[in-house]
Amino acid sequence: MALNARPAGRAGVPRRVWQEWLTGYLFVLPSVIIIGIFGLFPIGYAIYMSLYSWRVRKGSYIGFENYLKTFGDVTGAAAFFGGLLLVLVAHWLWTDAFGAGRGERRRYAQAAGALVLLAAGVAVALGWQRMVHTGDRAFLQGLVRTVYYGFGSVPIQIALALVLASLLFQKIRGQELFRMFYFLPYVVPAVAGAAVFRTIFSPRPEFLANTVLSWFHIPPQRWLFETKPVLEVLFGGLLRHVGIEHVSGFWAGPSLALVTIIFFGIWTFTGYNAVIFLAGLGGIPRDLYEAAAIDGANRVQSFRFITVPMLSPVTFYLTVLGFIGTFQAFTHIYVMRQPAVRDAVDTASIVIFDTFYKRNNWSLAAAQSVVLFGIILILTLYQSRFFGRSVFRG
């Protein structure tokens, strides 16, 4: 027994196990250091800065004053974020409260979930209204434009990329050339691409975008110089016909200038998403398509019931990554925005930069960046909760 015993480390654990643990920690140590220095430390320092009056130099401790300036009314902020939390509660009542059964308790849970969702909508609307009236209007409106930008670009990017990937996965001549062609916008420097788009979408009639519109007898548009909501631009004549001279508010939609920037985002990231989808398509067993063909399924049915479900992990990954990227977007928006449109295209990241650089209020900018970080975290949690369970796990 003594001859066959293994040397033990602490608490009787074999030394080999300790060596394996140490080797594993040494392998991950460089990544931990990099994430800590360039990821966690800036977040912590931003929180630290937001608690002080900081204009170039550190001032006195002011606590949560910068957050109060950002949100304005505390009650409104509590109602708004409480409403967001109630949405999760409503989803839990619909899906998990009493299991997957169909009993009477299940119906009661769904009815309760509907009431909770209605209460959540009221809380979010009233809370947001009070925040806009009392808080930092520039930042809060920047959040609205960020939502426009994210939900106006990411779903279209994903849909176009899926269609392109399905076409490029076929055996066609020049397949590699087409793949490179669609991926090229992603590797083009953002500043250079944004500068080209500024020229393409110039308000002058002879430039490319307005020239294309002239082929369809559509008058020239001001594009990046247009502050009107896109709903008014598209249906202005019809709205005036029914007595509506001007539309405003959230449901009026983004300005045409912001829609033009959304075009740039779609152009840039569709090719990248298509390449990721191509990698996912390569992992789908061909036997599934052959079995479906034997059962009489056509290409559309195979795409709907095989391709789309099997690619759900890739779709979920690209969706989460896409929304995080749009909420952090800065470079191309900064290059494409025009002084004439004032703040019509200023997303949250642009407002934070202006707070830091133009207003020279470092602590307020830090507080706003922390708020934006929290919103991105909440959005990621929502996506994981609502769509993560429907992902095909193999």
Q: What CATH code is carried by the domain that includes residue 255?
A: 1.10.3720.10
| Domain identity same for 23 and 126 | no
Three-state SS sequence of 149-160: HHHHHHHHHHHH
Q: What is the length of the chain? A: 394
Distance of alpha carbon 142 from alpha carbon 382, whole angstroms:
21
- What per-residue confidence (pLDDT) applies to 73? 83
Query: Does 2 map to a domain?
Result: no
Give residue for tokens 């193999």. Answer: 394
Report the b/e string of 112-132 with b at 16+ CB within 10 A: ebeebbebbeebbeebbebbb
Phi, psi of 222 (to 5 degrees): -85, -10
Angle between helices 362-387 and 74-95 (to 10 degrees): 10
Query: Does 63 map to a domain?
Result: no
| Domain identity same for 154 and 105 | no
| Domain identity same for 89 and 130 | yes
Report the b/e string of 303-336 with b at 16+ CB within 10 A: eeebbeebbbbbbbebbbbbbbbbbebeebbbbb
Query: Does 294 map to a domain?
Result: yes
Distance of alpha carbon 229 from alpha carbon 256, whole angstroms:
6
Across-strand partners of 98? 100
Q: How many domains does the chain have?
A: 3
- What per-residue confidence (pLDDT) applies to 52? 94
- What per-residue confidence (pLDDT) applies to 394? 59
- What per-residue confidence (pLDDT) applies to 159? 94
- What per-residue confidence (pLDDT) applies to 103? 64
Where a domain ends, among 84, 117, 134? 134
Query: Does 56 map to a domain?
Result: no
Distance of alpha carbon 392 from alpha carbon 309, whole angstroms:
6
Query: Does 61 map to a domain?
Result: no
The per-residue pLDDT for range 97-123, each reduced to its tens digit, is: 655 455 677 777 778 888 999 999 999
| Domain identity same for 87 and 235 | no
- What per-residue confidence (pLDDT) applies to 37? 94
Range of the domain at 386: 136-390
| Domain identity same for 24 and 160 | no
| Domain identity same for 283 and 150 | yes
Q: Are 277 and 165 in contact (CB under 8 A)?
A: yes
| Domain identity same for 278 and 371 | yes
Query: Does 156 map to a domain?
Result: yes
Distance of alpha carbon 12 from alpha carbon 10, whole angstroms:
5
Where a domain ends, among 94, 115, 134? 134
Query: Does 192 map to a domain?
Result: yes
Across-strand partners of 61? 52
| Domain identity same for 154 and 128 | no
- What per-residue confidence (pLDDT) applies to 2? 47
- What per-residue confidence (pLDDT) applies to 101? 52
| Domain identity same for 149 and 251 | yes
Q: Which helix (H) or strand (E) holds 60?
A: strand 57-61
| Domain identity same for 123 and 212 | no
| Domain identity same for 24 and 99 | no
Distance of alpha carbon 67 from alpha carbon 390, whole angstroms:
36
Q: Which helix (H) or strand (E) holds 304?
A: none
H-assigned helices in the chain: 15-35, 41-50, 65-71, 74-95, 104-134, 137-168, 175-187, 190-200, 208-215, 230-241, 256-281, 286-294, 299-302, 308-310, 312-328, 331-336, 348-357, 362-387
Q: For the chain, which residues score pLDDT lower than 50?
A: 1-3, 100
Query: Does 302 map to a domain?
Result: yes
| Domain identity same for 188 and 113 | no
Count of CA atoms in the C-beta half-sphere (13 A) of 205: 6
Count of CA atoms in the C-beta half-sphere (13 A) of 182: 24
- What per-residue confidence (pLDDT) applies to 339? 87
